[in-house]
Amino acid sequence: MTGPLDYVETQRVVLFSECDPLRLRGGGRLDHVEVAYETYGELSPERDNVIFVCHALTGHAHAAGLHLGAKKRGWWDNIIGPGKPLDTDRFFVVAPNILGGCSGTTGPLSTNPATGEPYYLDFPLLHMSDLVAVHRRLMGHLGVERLYAGVGGSLGGMQILQWVIDAPDEVERAVLVAASSRLSTENIAFSSVARTAIMSDPEFHDGRYVEHGTVPRLGQKVARMMAHITYVSDQSLDTKFGHRRDTVGDGMKLEPDFAVEHYLQHQGDVFLDRFDALSYLYLTRLLDYFDPFADSWTAERLASTRTQFQVTSFDSDWRFDTRQSLRMVEQLEACGVKVDFAELPSPFGHDSFLLTPPGYHDRIAAFLKG
């Protein structure tokens, strides 16, 4: 059978409590951690068919299928389902919303048990290991000790890499797409501008904008518009919009006029309805500090792993370009890890990992078939 999944539901579970808190790598703790997640397919009696999907920066648990009453399918619906690379006739696929997010998992707008109000900027800064600790606890809740595979694109791939480092025996196959083991300086610069736009918005109110019944709309919109440009390629923008103007007449004006401008305005507006500014601040900062091969213990841990890695980059991705993937491959191989690497042609830029460029899905499917 091949085709889309039917209706799915998001589940929620409390994984850490005051009696059993999440102790963060930075030294803090969270006394209440709730996680939103979805599952697709059936868990085998041996519990050995689990694929764990980690989402990118602004993703969520709804990776595939359709929610009752909704029109939009999950964000990775083209790769998860019967007969697809993450074949739900064979695999039990788990997809959570990450720690620090704003789609059902504990984040900056969640209630702080100590105060009874949202954390706001009192929410602790997170390390990639903290996200992985929550993922691992979710697997324990589901009664799973080992993953058949961990799969992720962009920030999702970085979570999988950290998982193998933190628990070298828990992941049989690691699929990392359009990812990096350390952000480029340019990436950090882009994120710095985005955070500045949000935090400089008069409606930010030191992060307590909810108390004022508002959100930093302008700053968050500008941040998303800029980021979206980096997720696509010059070729894809030119093919889709060219130099076309959406208004009638030959006059010039300062307001948005070209088709690409209206497109970016739309992307910024849509983002305001689905994502929180504080989560954006915290998760982009998490990415900036990610540098696992700078840890003294990483090489020793990876030397003991039997995890097989597949690393894929795209030739038009300039946000997480192939040089970053190759650096990660070299670091893994220096630790004795087996890596299958390929750069694939695609016109879509960084967003290629969400789409279906030629050879991409076949590559993942072959790797998962072993």
Binding site feature residues for substrate: 224, 351
Alpha helices of the chain — where are they, by DSSP H? 128-141, 155-166, 185-199, 217-231, 234-240, 259-274, 277-288, 298-303, 322-334, 360-369
Which amino acid, residue 68?
L
Burial 193-207 (b: 16+ CB within 10 A, else e): ebbebbbebebbeeb
Burial 72-106 (b: 16+ CB within 10 A, else e): ebbbbbbbbbbebbbbbebbbbbbbbbbbbbbbbb
Scanning the structure block, which residue is given the tokens 């042609």?
345
| Cα-trace Rg, the chain | 21
Beta bridge partners of 93: 40, 51
Q: Which of the 8 DSSP states describes residue 363?
A: H
Q: Residues annotated as binding site?
A: 224, 351
Residue 78 near residue 356, CB atoms below 8 Å: yes
Q: Cα–Cα distance between 228 and 200 in angstroms, integer? A: 20
- Residues noted as catalytic: 154, 317, 350
Quick one: which of 107, 109, 157 has its CA closest to 132? Answer: 157
